[in-house]
Amino acid sequence: MATEILSSRQIKALKEHKYSAEGSSICEPFMQVFWRWLVEQIPRSWAPNTITLVGLLLNVLTTFILICYNPDGEREAPGWAYLGCAVGLFIYQSLDAIDGKQARRTQSNTPLGELFDHGCDSLSTVFVMLGCCISLKLGHDPMVLLFEMCLSEFCFYLAHWQTYVTGTLKFGMIDVTEGQFFVMAIYTLCAISPGFFDITLPVFGIPLRYLCVLGSIGPSLFFVFKTGSLILQGGVGKNKSTVADSSTIFPIVHIGLVIVLQVIIATKTSIYTDQPCLYLVSFGFVTSKITNSLVVAHMTKCEMPVLDWSLLGPMMLFMNQYFNSKFPEYILLWIVCIYSIQDWIMYSLRVCREICSHLNIYCFDITSKPNPERRNSNGRKAR
């Protein structure tokens, strides 16, 4: 039998975990009116995690369709594909906003809900940003595309790194909701005119797409500076350590290693420029996995593992390149992509199953209760 991911100490800390967040973005107060109305239209029998998962799957599906039409980020897709992405993102945003309200409404709040929500957000970030970049046709400048993807992944990781240090998730005046509306606007404009962002700016002589890039870099760099400063100030643990009483700087190792490998491999071989979407999806699942591992570490007040099995995929690509192996890079990239996806899925399934077993709950069902006498994987009665 496979070793459990969560120890008894982590489960105990998870049971005691309380969600803590502060701050509100510009759009959120206005959207709250819609979200409060929307949750009242959802049947009480729907589990909050089901709502979250439906939104994620729809968002990923609509982006996947766009990727199929534009796998290199240089082509135009049908208008309906862009419109589908805009609608899919809006539905995801709405469902992601009401899953917590549904949990409180049905009195089914559990730590699993918070973990499930953040886990889906980490993957959604990858597909939302990739869909936005290929809508702008940033495939014409692969390094700009790579920079935008790495920056968005780092910002999302940084937000949870800061939460791991301070114990509180902090929102700014311009945050995720505003960013999602910005992406929806890009999708909508592309649906009206797929070549809209090819228009050359009269004074600067560059395509309009680069104005969008500059518009995203400024807020992102401000967020990095502000959040990085909070991390460097120290945490709530002993001697200003993290919630797990561990080093506040150590989490940089995981995201740093992924981004460094992602950039090195992309600049030293043609595999990235030949298959940009496949390459970025592969690394996106790796980034999502280590982010989820960070969220688990925060909620269970434990240290992050030194190494993560998700890093095996990037290391395979790096070693194949470093030793100038004869193994075809295109085939290896597909292997890495499949491995990264299954590693993400298996980790998520195992964590959810262990939490459900120890907390004696179901993940996608709130209408029935598990048998209180059933035993968990350690042979103890579930409480």
Q: Which residues are catalytically annotated?
A: 118
- Bridge partners, residue 170, by sequence: 22
- Helix/strand/coil for 381: strand
> Is the sign of the CA dihedral 280, 285, 289, 292 positive or negative?
positive
User: CB atoms < 10 A from the CB of 94, how many?
Assistant: 16
**351 with 305: CB under 8 angstroms?**
no
- Bridge partners, residue 151, by sequence: none
In angstroms, how far is CA 109 from the centroid of its own chain? 22
**317 with 336: CB under 8 angstroms?**
yes
224-250 burial: b if 16+ Cβ within 10 Å, else e? eeebeebbeeebebeeebbbbebbbee
- Contacts for 147 with CB less than 8 Å, ≥ 6 apart: none
Identify the CA nearest to 230 among candidates 179, 171, 300, 178.
171
**289 with 296: CB under 8 angstroms?**
no
- Helix/strand/coil for 264: helix
Identify the CA nearest to 118 among candidates 304, 284, 258, 291.
291
User: CB atoms < 10 A from the CB of 179, how many?
Assistant: 20
Torsion of CA 194, 197, 201, 202, to 10 degrees: 0
| Helix H or strand E segment including 125 | helix 111-135
